[in-house]
Amino acid sequence: MPAPFPNLDSIAASGKRGLSRALALIETHAGTAELAELLDAALAQTRAHTAGLTGPPGVGKSTLTNALLRDWRGRGETIGVIAVDPSSRRTGGALLGDRARMATDPEDQGVFVRSMAARDRLGGLSDQTIAAAALMRALFDRVLIESVGIGQSEADISFAVDCVILCVQPGSGDSLQFMKAGVMELPDIVVVTKADMGEAAHRAKSEVQGALTLFARDDDWRVPVILASAARGDGMAELHRALADHRAWAERSGAFLSRRRAQEKAWVEESVRARFGAEGFSRAAAIKVSAAGPFTRELEIARELTRRLEGP
């Protein structure tokens, strides 16, 4: 007899092993009602604040992640981390394995790190990232998603998190490249890494502040630019304060719930478009479903689209 499909209580009670098994179900049980119900139940019980860390390869994202993990665990907070890596063309698996670069205690049940391969996604995230994040948000105090990198087409991170942190490296020309790509529209916080580089770091901060003035946001949040050296701990207090300030502003202004509703709508639309193409997505607009949760809603739309496209 097959084992019963897990629920949130059984996953939480089983610790890291239970969460690992649940995350495996995201791939093995894709398209099933059981998985959609589990993920929608997780969304209904979301407790975590979710931050996204992005920036070009080598900018120091993993070092900053380690510093954030250290500080949050020092406060007694629990954290789930999703590290999205480039994919191996041969195996399709994670090429670099960010998990190996994160200094965590395997026995610490308060930290869970999962590496995911980006595969053929251009948006900096894995196909399973959204579902994994939904599950983790119900089980941890914080969820941190580290994307594979950022460029002109890599903006998916904004559809998965409550706060986008963009990392910029001094002397790299990143700020000019990001201006060309329109990336400056994405971040809620910018961190200039490797602040110990002195004048180059201050120059990069000024460039970023100037670049931010060229892109109008659709809200009144002022994006802070923080100089940080995660290896030395410099700037970490300012980053934690910026995260707290952004969360407070988002909750006060209504942007918090508005962003999450927009994200759920985008999850459904992107999934339908990826599976059925532009024609299928166009037909989906006429399909009415009763499900409230986005994962079950997407499943019902997909089933109805399949029925209509296959015909009698």
> By the 8 A CB rule, do 142 and 48 touch?
yes
Contacts of 175 (CB under 8 A, 6+ apart): 168, 204, 207, 208, 211
Same domain, 282 and 223: no
Residue 31 lies in a domain: no
Same domain, 265 and 214: no
Domain around 275: 260-310
Residue 95: the pLDDT is 43
CA distance 46 to 132: 13
Residue 141 lies in a domain: yes
Sheet containing 79-85, strands listed edge to edge, beginning at the edge strand earlier in sequence: 111-117, 79-85, 142-146, 49-54, 163-168, 189-192, 225-227
Residue 97: the pLDDT is 45
User: At 38, which amino acid appears?
Assistant: L
Residue 248: the pLDDT is 98
CA distance 226 to 213: 16
CATH number of domain containing 216: 3.40.50.300
Same domain, 77 and 136: yes
CA distance 69 to 76: 11
How many angstroms separate the Cα of 125 from the Cα of each of 27, 90, 116, 128? 15, 19, 8, 8
Structure tokens at 210: 């100037």
Same domain, 181 and 296: no
Residue 306 lies in a domain: yes
Residue 16 lies in a domain: no
Strands in 55-141 per DSSP E: 79-85, 111-117
Length of the chain: 312
Same domain, 233 and 94: yes
Strands in the chain per DSSP E: 49-54, 79-85, 111-117, 142-146, 163-168, 189-192, 225-227
Residue 33 lies in a domain: no
Same domain, 124 and 169: yes
Same domain, 151 and 232: yes
CA distance 93 to 210: 39
* 151 burial via Cβ count (<10 Å: 0-12, 13-18, 19+): middle
Residue 93: the pLDDT is 42
Domain boundary among 253, 273, 302: 253
Q: pLDDT in tens for each of the 312 residues of the chain? A: 466 889 999 999 999 999 999 999 998 998 899 999 999 999 999 999 999 998 887 888 888 999 999 999 999 999 999 988 754 434 344 444 444 455 666 778 899 999 887 554 434 455 688 999 999 999 999 999 988 665 544 567 888 899 999 998 887 666 666 665 567 788 999 999 888 888 888 888 998 888 888 877 888 999 999 999 887 888 999 999 999 999 999 999 999 999 999 999 998 998 898 888 888 888 888 888 888 899 999 999 999 999 887 765
Count H helices, E strands: the chain? Answer: 10, 7
Residue 3: the pLDDT is 67
Number of domains in the chain: 2
Residue 232 lies in a domain: yes
Residue 13 lies in a domain: no
Residue 298 lies in a domain: yes
